[in-house]
Structure 1
Amino acid sequence: MQDLKVLYITSWFPLKNAPNRCVFFREQIVLISKSLNVSILEVETVPIFKIKKIFAKNSLKVEKQGNYNIYRIQIYRVPPKRMKLRNKYLNKVVCVNYKKVILKEQKFDLIHVHAMWPGGLFGYFISKKFGLPMVVTEHASYLESLFRKESYKSNIEKIVNQTLQFFAVGSKLKKMFSNFNIDNCDVIPNFINFEKFTYIRKRTSNDDVFSLAIIGNINSKIKGPDVILKALNKVVNEYNCKSIVLNVVGTKRLDDEFIEYIAKNNLDHNVKLQGYIPNDALPEFLSNMDALVISSRKETFSIAGIEAMATGIPVVSTRCGGPEDYIIDGFNGYLVDNENYEELAKSICKIIQEYDKFDLPEIKKHAYNNYSHDAVIPKQLEYYNNILSKE
């Protein structure tokens, strides 16, 4: 399928001040570029005073990366209440730049959008005007609320009607599509580049500290910061496991309420802020951890869980959505009820006490067989082929 040309439109992408922001979108596209011709379109929202010539050719920036191009169009914010004006403006900006610049460089066979909003709207404009088939992979947990909001409803309906195939990254997300009577949706999970994960955890009896990792902005309520800190308090002060250290990745500073909670419960030596770790350095970091915890209230996938298992370490998670698809109780971790910090604490202690029961190479093997680029990309290519054969 090397002759197939696909334009990927990503709703979120890395920024200078947030280099790890949804970096896995781009990583997945780079991996699939080994099998077909790809380009990426990113539509960046910036303050209006930063855009000099909105409809001119130079409002689109082209960045060449290896064997693919990244096209970035700049737009300015228009309030959702002015949706008709917003659509007219966005349609013109996206389609003018697509026709004047992108189309002259390459003609595409298919559009693949990552995250329906707002990328699906840009895909809709191009698909409708230039007659390209469109598919959408959904990642977002907030999508259900957009389906219900009147200000977004008409645009969501346009995207749904224009999309030939939806992919949900998890089974719970697929169920949400079913709830809105969208039946052209199948599960294709996120995947990672296993070539980066050459490390595997080798814990020895001489390791005095049990290193537990949590990845993401845990100041966010949806990530369950209160849940993990209450669980940690029970592990340390009730179950007397003083040797545990919670390594927080992706958060430079905790909110004051969490700092106060840590100090009040004498957990200062049990929480370590690691700040931002570059994506390429994450495999080595995880190989020095003993387990990963996901304390979220809602996750459509949580790719951190797969990255942890790619280094062979177990994952303990709340039943928050995505992790329920890949955690097998007792084999590669444990699942506990959502927001139940007491169960979470018990499961963390169980991992510590029964760590030798986990077969770390088998955890890694299971992750590779189900969530590696080698496992998932062929399924995606098969869908492309089937869709285009019907056009």
Structure 2
Amino acid sequence: MKKILLFIITAFLATSIRAQSVTELYQARDFRQLIEQEKNADELTPEELYMVGYAFFQLENDDKAIAFYDKAIEKGYDNGSVYFYKGLSLGYLEKYDEALKQIDIALEKEPTNQEYMNHKGELYRYQGKEDIALEYYVKATQLPNTIGDPFFWVAYVYHGKQELKKALSLYYEAVEIMPQSSHYYVAALHSIGQLEYTYTQNYSKSAQAYAQAININPKDYEYYPKLIKAYNGAGEFAKADSIFSLLKVAYINQELSEEDQKFGNTAVDESEWNGQKLIVYRYFDDPKESLDISYKVYLLAKGGDKVERTFMVEQTLQLPDGPKHLLCEKDRKTDTHITYPYGWKSDAIPLDNLKKAVVLVLDGKMKQGASSTTGKRK
């Protein structure tokens, strides 16, 4: 009798320890250790099987995740979440019809779950069925708000349809509703910044959106050039220069993208001349010797991204009362280096003054001063 009792107690303790271990690993999000429970699958409870499946899902092993979700369901785990996450895994495997069936089951069990309804829209969007996706995103916005994501996606779909006025209004609504912790909160701010810059051309509002995105993610340097361009567009040149200084520090600390580190410059302004885009790039490295470049200005061909003309601001040998930097051009056809009779005596080169000089050349109101076939490329 004692042996039987000891066996029962030992088995109970083993089950309790195992259960505690699975739950603790799940709560600690220690997914690598949690999937080690695969070998104990026959002994796991339905909820534990779900936890192991979720661990496989987080480690991007969707086939194993689905297998464990199925085991959990077979053992009687009937929670909406198991069908939802099974639907997620099937979606990542591009088995969209099967995924939708699982999401529908999840919604039958939890009909007011905003996340489930939002993901139903996602599954249609993945298939390029934007109109159907929009229906479910809108339905998701009408459910108790728990994640806020569908408010972003409704705006996103209208943005894709080029209904820009409506999209912009909906992006503003989204940032009022979504928590700042949401990944899509910053994405919505980015879209606001983009539309205010390109569509409404309200550069101050564009700058506000980009500045808010940077305040949330100060190490996301993708937004810094956009904020610089917005400030310059609004005529707030001092603010643009201060943001450029922050970006320059990041460049010195090797924190920028590989491409930005390689080229050592960033776009600081966009404008138009006779329907053609003018883009100004500013270099991070201070010019130290003759022919070093501090700015480049590209004139793009109409209706495309092909560069038609390239202007530079180059350091020169400074004579008494002479300029320290000169406006130059590299002829793209002949490779001729052209110097114009326009310069700056100090390192402070006002952006509006630089653009004015380039436009004088483009309008044929400033003739070249000298030309040669030599020059420094940068």
Q: For the superposition of Structure 1 and Structure 2, which TM-score range results when normalised by the shorter chain?
A: under 0.3
Higher share in helix: 2
TM-score normalised per structure 1 = 0.26
| Bigger CA radius of gyration | 2
Higher share in strand: 1
TM-score normalised per structure 2 = 0.26
